[in-house]
Structure 1
Amino acid sequence: MASDNRRIAVLIDGDNAEANLIDLILNEAAKFGRVTIKRIYADFTTQHMNVWKNQLNTYAIRPIQKFAYTKGKNSTDSALIIDAMDIMHAKLVDGFCIVSSDSDYTGIAHRVREEGLFV
Structure 2
Amino acid sequence: MSKLAVLIDADNAQSSTINHLLSEIAKYGTTHVKRAYGDWTSPNLKGWKEKLLEQSIQPIQQFAYTHGKNATDSALIIDAMDLLYSGRFDGFCLVSSDSDFTRLAARIRESGLSVYGIGERKTPKPFVAACDKFIYTENLVHLEELAPHADRVTNDPGDHSSVRQALMDDHLSNMLRTAVETASDDDGWARLSSVVSQTQ
- Report the TM-score range of the alignment, normalised by the length of the smaller protein: over 0.9
| 1:30 and 2:22 are equivalent in the alignment | no
Q: Which residue of 1 aligns with 2:76?
A: 80
Task: Say if 1:66 and 1:74, in contact at 8 Å, map to a contact too.
Answer: no
Structure 1 residue ranges (4+ consecutive) displaced by more than 4 angstroms after TM superposition = none
Q: TM-score, normalised by structure 1?
A: 0.94
Structure with the largest fraction of helix: 2
Q: TM-score, normalised by structure 2?
A: 0.57
Paired positions, count? 115
Query: How far 1:74 moved relative to its partner?
Result: 2.6
Q: Which residue of 2 aligns with 1:71?
A: 67
- Alignment gaps of 5+ in structure 1: none
Query: How far 1:58 moved relative to its partner?
Result: 0.1
Query: How far 1:27 moved relative to its partner?
Result: 1.0
Q: What is the RMSD of the two structures over their aligned residues, measured on CA atoms?
A: 0.7
- The percent identity for this pair of structures is 54
User: For each residue in 1:49-69, what CA deviation from the matched residue of structure 2 results, as whole angstroms up to 9, or x when unmatched?
Assistant: 110000010000000000001
Q: Partner letter of residue 64 of structure 1?
A: I
- Alignment gaps of 5+ in structure 2: 116-200
| 1:21 and 2:17 are equivalent in the alignment | yes
Which of these two proteins has the greater Rg computed from alpha carbons?
2
Q: For residues 1-119 of structure 1, what are the structure 2 equivalents within 5 Å?
A: 5-119=1-115
Q: Which residue of 1 aligns with 2:190?
A: none
Query: How far 1:92 moved relative to its partner?
Result: 2.1
Task: Say if 1:38 and 1:60, in contact at 8 Å, map to a contact too.
Answer: yes
